[in-house]
Amino acid sequence: MNISQAVKMAAKSISSNKGRSFLTMLGIIIGLAAVIILVSYAQGQNMALKAYYDSQGTNILEVSAYNWMDPNNSVGQKLYDYCLGMEEVEGVTPNGYVYSDLTISYGAKTLSRNRNYGMGMVIMGGGMVSSSYGGGSDDHYPQIRLGNDKYGLCNDYKIAKGREFSYLEIEKGAQVCILGSDTAEYLFSFADPIDKTITINGLPFRVIGVYQSKAAGLNLGNDEESQWMEESIKRNDQLLLLPSTMTRYFNNNESITDYIVKVKDADSVTKAVTDLNGFLSGIVDTNYGGYGVYNPGEYQNDQDEANALQQRFLGGIAAISLLVGGIGIMNIMLVTVTERTREIGIRKAIGAERRSIITQFLIEAAMICGIGGILGIIVGYIGTMVVTKLSFGLVLMPGSSITAGAFAISVALGIIFGMYPAIKASALQPVEALRAD
């Protein structure tokens, strides 16, 4: 018997028992669909996390340096000058924020904190602050940040309208500001904010720029962690950036001790961390101050490892259903051997070799699993599109490697679990097989 004849006989056997064949395939269909959906969902989560970390800024370092005995903040100035001389550094900015509650006004619009509600503050990657406020204008109350002309570069903000600060505006303490997209929309609605004047605690500030939204079209998922990350990214659009020299007006001239350093690429991060730690250890007396250099990318690497582990774990859970499906294949093939015992005896009596008997039953088992695999892939594609649309707001398609691997696994299951019934069939003695009813 050649392969084509074996395939025809397998197809005839499957079609003559459609209901039983479909129920046998069902375990494979469910198992493969579950593997594809869960693995694709885990990949969608990884994409969501990458979007979150990218929104906080890439290749950045958070640097803190202070000296309680140095009211003129010479440590900060020395750090700033040193960073400007580092080849691997693209930019450095003070990363201060205003502690006091300010009232921001433009025309009839006012932003102020509602003192009837508490405020929670969490320092995010890239030095951003996520806050939780009560109702009223607090819902749009911005982070009031203090930075320089490199603030946008260092925190991955892009200008949508207007421009960044100039070096002279920082040095002279010009009363200018840059708005995040949410703050600009709330204060100005559809009007162009550029060159308009807002007041901050009664002081006039001219708007010279508006940053692009970081949260536009964002949907990270429906679980609690994804929603928290999404809210954190949206919070980045609630921004009011002032020149760092404004600390003398709003923070009682308190020195800014935190900086954001933008490094050229990921390969330069390790060297930059080493150099900065070495420099700071030479200028900061830890008896009267402290310093630290932090790489938020380390948290991303840890999260990537955790996500990879989660992906393997979910795939392993789904693989259990494939194992159950494989056992179902073995069971139905044993039933088939029993039903066709007399046929096997006749074939062996007229000279069929054991190899041809094994091939016939393996091809039939592989065909059942292969057809089930194709149906499982179709169900997996549909399920992945539905789940990712509901979870992340976008349609993700399983990768070609997942699809090819899923189909190969389904065929392999047929061969592996069909091997025992096939060997049992080939081992039947012709005389005993011919006696079977």
Of 213, 182, 209, the residue nearest 193 (C-alpha): 209
State the Cα–Cα distance between residues 142 and 333, nearest whole angstrom: 68
Rounded Cα gap, residues 177 and 207, in angstroms:
5
Strand (E) or helix (H) holding 260: strand 258-263
Task: Give the pairing type, strands 159-162 and 203-211.
Answer: antiparallel
CA–CA separation, 334 vs 66, rounded Å? 77
> Left if phi > 0, otherwise alpha if psi is -120 to 50, otherwise beta: which for 59?
left
- Domain residues of the chain, as ranges? 3-51+303-435, 58-296
DSSP-derived 3-state class of residue 118: coil
pLDDT, residue 55, reads 56
> Long-range contacts for 397-405 (Cβ within 8 Å, ≥24 apart)?
397/40, 398/36, 398/39, 398/40, 399/40, 399/43, 402/36, 402/39, 402/40, 403/36, 403/377
Instruction: Give the per-residue pLDDT at 218.
Output: 60
Residue with tokens 């580092």: 86
Q: How many CB atoms sit inside 10 A of residue 382's CB?
A: 12
3-state helix, strand, coil in the chain (%, to 5): 55, 15, 25
pTM for the complete prediction?
0.59
Rounded Cα gap, residues 247 and 254, in angstroms = 6
Contact 143, 93 (CB under 8 A): no
CB 259 within 8 A of CB 92: yes
Per-residue pLDDT of the chain (437 residues; tens, 9 = 90+): 567 777 887 788 778 778 888 888 888 888 888 888 887 877 777 776 666 665 555 688 999 988 887 766 688 888 889 998 999 899 999 999 898 889 999 998 999 876 443 333 333 333 433 333 333 356 789 999 999 999 999 988 999 999 999 999 999 999 999 999 999 999 999 899 999 999 999 999 999 999 999 877 665 555 555 666 667 777 889 999 999 999 988 888 888 889 999 998 877 888 899 999 999 998 888 888 899 998 876 656 666 666 667 667 766 776 677 777 788 888 888 887 777 777 777 777 777 777 888 888 888 888 888 888 899 889 989 988 888 787 766 677 887 777 888 788 888 888 888 888 888 877 777 766 566 55
> N- to C-terminal Cα distance for the chain?
25
Cα–Cα dist 170/161, whole Å: 19
In sequence order, what are the residues at sequence separation of 6 or more whose Cβ sits closer than 8 angstroms to the Cβ of residue 153? Answer: 90, 91, 93, 262
Q: Is 216 left (phi over 0), alpha (psi -120 to 50) or beta?
A: beta
CA atoms 71, 240, 243, 198: torsion sign: negative
Q: Contact 121/152 with Cβ under 8 angstroms?
A: no
Cα separation, 359 vs 422, whole angstroms: 8
Which tokens in the block code for residue 315? 């795939």
